Amino acid sequence: MHSLYSRVNNLSAFLSTCTMALLAAIALSSLLFNADPKGDLSIASVKVHPAKSHRYPRKKMENGFVNFNITADLTPLFHWNTKQLFLYLEAEYQNTKGVNNSVVIWDRIIRRKEDAVINVAGRNKYAFKEISSSFKNAPTAGSHYSLKYNVMPYVGALTYGEAARTSEPVEFTIEAAPYEV
């Protein structure tokens, strides 16, 4: 005969197997769900000011200030397995040494479907600095901007995507007046 311990063990193993199979089915079904949200991204201006670094007082650096307008409808990304969205604005540029850089300059976490219609006119939230030398001596005299998202599900893998992108590089406007960090 089977003991009580053996029966409880068999029952818990069966229930955990069923739970894992259900979670695997949920994860696979969310990978099949493809939404392609569209948005509009326009960069009003990119102003670059010389700055002084507190960490390296003798080193010259420049700070970029980006004014942007974002409109996007991200509601198609919300379904029964979406916990939240991480939305961010990324600047891609080439420095004076020819190295490609990607910098996140703004972000937002969206937790509800009701908040997924974005209409933001703002300025960069995070520092956009060039410490190698200057923005103006770069091989390409501008930067591309893209609005990207990361879908964080309850169960399954994270998915990434792009909602909007600037079509042409945006030129840096170099300001002569010093600006303190």
How does pLDDT run across 30-86, given as a tens digit for each residue? 667 777 888 999 988 888 877 777 777 777 777 888 899 999 999 999 988 889 999
How does pLDDT run across 9-37, given as a tens digit for each residue? 999 999 999 998 888 887 777 667 777 88
> What CATH number corresponds to the domain at position 67?
2.60.40
The identity of residue 20, as a single letter, is: M
Alpha helices in the chain (DSSP H): 4-32
> Are residues 2 and 44 both part of a single domain?
no
For residue 181, tell me if it sits in a domain. no
Phi first, then psi: give them for residue 18, nearest 5 degrees. -65, -40
> Are residues 94 and 28 both part of a single domain?
no
How does pLDDT run across 83-137, given as a tens digit for each residue? 999 999 999 988 777 778 889 999 999 999 999 999 999 898 988 887 666 666 6
> Are residues 27 and 73 both part of a single domain?
no
For residue 179, tell me if it sits in a domain. no
> Are residues 42 and 114 both part of a single domain?
yes
> Are residues 10 and 90 both part of a single domain?
no
Measured CA to CA, the distance from residue 158 to residue 79 in angstroms comes to 14
Residues in the chain: 181
Measured CA to CA, the distance from residue 106 to residue 167 in angstroms comes to 19
> Are residues 65 and 10 both part of a single domain?
no
> Are residues 48 and 86 both part of a single domain?
yes
> Are residues 27 and 41 both part of a single domain?
no
The identity of residue 75, as a single letter, is: T
Q: Which domain holds residue 23?
A: 1-32
Q: Vertex 91, ends 169 and 159: CA angle to 5°?
A: 120
Domain count, the chain: 2
- CA distance to 17, 89, 115, 144, 173, per residue, from 141 (Å): 57, 19, 36, 10, 10
- DSSP secondary structure code for residue 33 in this structure: -
> Are residues 89 and 123 both part of a single domain?
yes
